[in-house]
Amino acid sequence: MLRLLALILVTCSAFGVSTAKADNSELQLLLQKNNCLACHLIDKRKYGPNLKEVAEKYAGDSGAVERLAAKIKAGGTGVWGEDIMPPQAQVSDADAQKIAKLVLSLQ
Ligand code: HEC
């Protein structure tokens, strides 16, 4: 099963289906699981900010993991423009923390 998943990931990136690099695959899976990809991509702007931009904006900000984890669940507006991110109540606290950390470590 894992081997099959790896094969699919490799095939997708070889054909340019996914822009995520192999080292972003954990983040990519979490975004997929929590329905974030409707609005966010890792390195292209969609409805919401692209997640590499988010990492750049908060580089060196030690409180950013906690704040972003809370914002992922609560949603909000006004930081990146007028668009609104609706609350994402389906996201567990553990996933919100993990996603915030992985987003902030994007380069
Ligand atoms: C309906 C579209 C939509 C969905 C679904 C969505 N977002 Fe967002 N997201 C946005 C918008 C719009 C913003 C910009 C909000 C702002 O300017 O404050 C945003 C902002 C963010 C930010 C930056 C917050 C900040 O204050 O800088 C992060 C991180 C983020 N989203 C992560 C996620 C994650 C993780 C998920 C999935 C659990 C998700 N988003 C689902 C639209 C969405």
Of 88 and 10, the one with more pLDDT: 88
- Are the beta carbons of 83 and 48 closer than 8 angstroms? yes
Q: Which one of 40, 91, 101, 103 would you pick to mutate in the ligand 1 pocket, going by the greatest count of ligand atoms within 8 A of its CB?
A: 40
Between 57 and 6, the more confident residue is: 57
| Residue 5 Cα to ligand 1 middle (Å) | 27
This prediction has a pTM of 0.85
Indicate which residue's Cα is closest to atom 16 of ligand 1.
77
Cα radius of gyration rounded to whole Å, the chain: 14
Provide the pLDDT for residue 23. Answer: 76
Residue closest by Cα to atom 37 of ligand 1:
36
Q: Which CATH architecture has domain 20-104?
A: Orthogonal Bundle (1.10)
